[in-house]
A and B are shown apart, each in its own frame.
Chain A
Amino acid sequence: MTGGTPVGVLVIGAGPAGLAAAEAALDAGARVTLLDASDATGGQYWRHLPEERAGEHEARLHHGFARYERLRDRVVGDAACTVLLGSAVWSVERSAAAGSGFTVNVATGRVDAARAAMSALEPEAIVLATGAHDRTLPFPGWELPGVFTGGAAQALAKGERVRVGERVVVAGAGPFLLPVAESVAESGARVIEVVEANRLGRIVRGWAPKPWRLLGARAKVGELVGYVSGFLRHRIPYRMGAAVVAAHGTDRVEAVTIARLDTDWRPIPGTERRVAVDAVCVSHDFTPRLELAIAAGCALDERRFVVVDDSQETTVPHVFAAGEITGIGGVDLAMAEGAVAGAAAAGRTPSRNAVRRRRVFSDFAGRISAAHGIRSGWHHWLHDDTIVCRCEEVGYGRLCSTAASTDAEGLRSLKLSTRAGLGICQGRICGRTVEELLVAASPGDRFLDSVSTDRRPIVAPQRLGDLASLGDGPESP
């Protein structure tokens, strides 16, 4: 489409990385448009009650909430900054007219409204700060009401002050379990235990290499101390080397089975114990939101994060990336990357402070992955009737038997013959899991086509009526 609105630096995503990018671009004198699909800035990390019913305890519920408020006020209060909330980018396309080379197509308005307002932006430069959503591995019973992803539980607790249950188990892997457990506890629920799949040995080995590099990040220790004291205050036990391998219940979850895992995450027979709960929050990893980066043509690395250079520029000129889409490294790294990306997108040399902070936190992504990354033994806790793709209700058994019967070696063929990942979520929830299980079930050790569940040219579903209203041809009504 042509005839979009010219804008300066377009920052997509108003979480920590996006806000930091917007601030740096404004400091550099650029005009900035900051866009987010949700109705508030802050992203998932600083999700909070709406302003009109602001909470008294935001500061206690959020680490660094004062930092958020300062950043938000700095960015939103700047006359050179346009903030577009409730605005989802639904596609990007090549455009000779825009300085960045791209038109960014935006739909504004709530998804349940009769119509969305469609617009097109033609930025000089783009900062992608689209973040990540948490990935939950399937297990028998995970589709029961009362089973939440860690992110959803946290969002309910922080954004809605909703308690997910009375007796809650938090399970999965990685440091994210700590804030999830804390916000669930702060919401008034009793967290019975936190279950981390990895054993202490691996966690120590993963975090420990070159420990002097962690010195600059010692503020993180304070954060950790905060979690530990919170756990002590709420009397939450933290167990390692175990997992929730099944949820039980008829209308909703009533109990979970927790089993010990070996180092490859394979459940150890005989170690199962049943724990009565009315909610369980599970998160094993994060999946970067790569749709826009892929649509723009940005190269990904072998671990499927966006490749960036020292100035956070992707392999596509004028397109920068910051935050979790370049690696799951936490809020400090995301903000440092955002500050570098925002300045560079505005045509300035990034501040030495931002570059230094990025270096301090730069190996967090690697440490988290080494200490907490998913191990393939988890396949063993699946049953044939465990639903893998919830939208299309594809069970693990059918996934494997279909793959075995066709001998298909292409992901596209496997998806179309199993229907896994083809539903309304378009693989956002199950895509990585479906890929992992299908590779394991198909003849080779990789797919022979170059298909990825991350590729979604339609980034967010749109009403056909809204799409029909677009257009520049003589045929437009």
Chain B
Amino acid sequence: MGRIVVVGAGIIGAAITRELARDGHDVTVVERSAAASGTSGRGEGNILVSDKGPGPELDLARFSRSLWPTVARELREELGESFPAIEFEPKGGLVVSTTAAGAAPLLAFAAAQRSAGVRADVVDAATAKSLEPHLTDATTAAIHYPEDAQIQPVVATEAFLRSARLAGARVLTGHEVIGAVLDSAGALAGVDVRSRDGVTRSFPADAVVNAAGPWGAAVSEVLGAAIPVRPRRGVVLVTTRMPHRVFHKVYDADYVGAVESSSADLQTSSVVESTASGTVLIGSSREQVGFRDEFSTRIVAELARKAILLFPFLSSASLMRSYSGFRPYMPDHVPVIGEDPRLPGLWHANGQEGAGIGLATGTAALLAALIAGRTPPVDAAPFSVSRAGLAPFLAEVAA
């Protein structure tokens, strides 16, 4: 059992802090701003298995999804009724194609997912309409994913932190990591942090976990072993409240293509869902513009257009607000979870891109197992910093 500093109090850092504290470690989570103030507070709260093809990320997603019901129950029991609901809702996903050309790739994708153990049920148009009565008639194929779920990511983050505190962890917000403490062997032995008032202090640590999302590039660089995580901006539109007319997470089949793409240019694909409060969330856009966050009519118009293609009734719905955030994008599309061989003592839990809410539970369990030296619950090798696919990008940021 050791002293551990987790950097970043988004949902990944919060879930890890809780897991490590429950493992008996002495954990402090250091957050530059407030909890859930970055990526975690800017997304829809996706817990998806539907958007990933067979591979290590799907394995992690399935493992994470299997943990969520238990975690949600534990949090509710632990925190009581006065704590706001984390709104874990296993509502299922419905992926549709609306073009003739889109049908075959979607059906093939779903078949591959089924072979990897995902429930991906092909449904006919009539069944799709019974699942989503207000869906467009123009679907050419539809897959129902009963395992897809949704959560209120900000409340979930605060719940993880509250639970972690109850297990003995410390939450240090308003503190930025500004430097590394190295031992005589050159291993990471702690971090220097600075408060908003400019007071600096050192935290000795046997392990430091980089869970700073897209800001993790800067954090890992300050600590001495940079990882190539980059911000990938996304915009979400929020309508005014209305009677529930969207019952699943419904998205256009080209969403998968956008997620798996490496292009820096703007891509949009439609994701539509209701929230417990009655608003409808409309995503999604992906673009690599650094941390620049400027309003763009073009994105809003594209998102509106594509959402109306899926749900024509949305044409008369009112857009009330929009928000945007930065996903932690890893150039080879696989998260980095594990110790950094370049700097012993530095661990990463980063690069989940837009899937970090769903992957938080599995990421925390995997990282805790690795730190404790237990058998990992899923194969950890594909997430290693030293995997072959990441090497060229590591070389780039090291240069």
| A interface with B by C-beta (< 8 Å) | 1, 91-94, 103, 105, 120, 295, 392, 401-402, 405-410, 412-413, 416-419, 422-424, 426, 444, 447-451, 456-458, 461-465, 467-473, 475-477
Contacts and interface: CB of A to CB of B under 8 A. Distances in A.
A51 to B, nearest CB: 30
Given A409-B35, A464-B317, A295 B295 contact: yes
Given A405-B83, A406-B162, A472-B298, A413 B37 contact: yes
B241 A423 contact: yes
19 contacts: A1-B301, A120-B297, A407-B165, A409-B34, A410-B37, A412-B34, A412-B36, A416-B154, A417-B84, A417-B158, A448-B33, A448-B34, A461-B240, A463-B319, A464-B308, A464-B314, A475-B302, A476-B301, A477-B305
A392 B37 contact: no
Interface string B316-342: 111111110000000000000000000
A470 B321 contact: no
B98 to A, nearest CB: 13
A444 B34 CA distance: 11
A341 B83 CA distance: 50
Nearest to A120: B297
B394 interface: no
Which of under 10, 10 to 19, 20 to 34, or 35 or more describes the interface residues of B? 35 or more
A44 to B, nearest CB: 23
Q: In terms of DSSP, what is the predominant structure of the interface of chain B?
A: mixed
Contacts of A103: 297
Contact of A462 (B155, B295, B314, B318): B318
Contacts of B307: 464
B331 to A, nearest CB: 26
Given A410-B34, A413-B154, A464 B84 contact: no
Given A457-B321, A464-B314, A468-B305, A413 B34 contact: yes
Contacts of A417: 84, 152, 154-155, 158
Nearest to B165: A407
B37 to A, nearest CB: 4
B36 A410 contact: yes
B17 to A, nearest CB: 14
A408 B165 CA distance: 13
B296 interface: yes
A182 B264 CA distance: 60
B173 A448 contact: yes
Given A413-B34, A413-B36, A417-B84, A463 B316 contact: yes
Contacts of A450: 33
Nearest to B82: A405
A465 B316 contact: yes
A471 B268 CA distance: 13
B397 to A, nearest CB: 27
B37 A412 contact: yes
A76 to B, nearest CB: 30
A238 to B, nearest CB: 40
Given A448-B174, A465-B315, 7 more contacts: A93-B296, A405-B83, A409-B34, A463-B317, A464-B282, A464-B308, A471-B297
Given A448-B34, A463-B317, A471 B298 contact: yes
A402 B155 CA distance: 10
B305 A471 contact: yes
A105 B297 contact: yes
Contacts of B36: 410, 412-413
Contacts of A408: 34-35, 158
B154 A467 contact: no
A13 B60 CA distance: 54
B321 A465 contact: no
A448 B37 contact: yes
Contacts of B323: 457
B375 interface: no
Given A463-B319, A464-B239, A465-B316, A471 B37 contact: no
Pairs A-B, 5 closest by C-beta atoms: A410-B34, A465-B315, A448-B34, A471-B301, A449-B37
A467 B37 contact: no
Contacts of B314: 464-465
A160 to B, nearest CB: 25
A345 B370 CA distance: 63
A410 B158 CA distance: 11
A381 B80 CA distance: 29
Nearest to B196: A448
B183 interface: no
Contacts of B315: 463-465, 468
Nearest to A467: B304
B147 to A, nearest CB: 25
A449 B33 CA distance: 5
A456 B240 contact: no
A173 B320 CA distance: 31
A94 B277 contact: no
A413 B41 CA distance: 7
B304 A464 contact: yes
Contacts of B295: 91-93, 295, 457
A295 B293 CA distance: 11
Contacts of B271: none
A468 B158 contact: no
B294 interface: yes
Contacts of B239: 464
Contacts of B33: 410, 448-450
Contacts of A475: 302, 305
B122 interface: no
A463 B41 CA distance: 25
A396 to B, nearest CB: 15
B300 interface: yes
A424 B173 contact: no
B197 to A, nearest CB: 12
Contacts of A416: 41, 152, 154-155
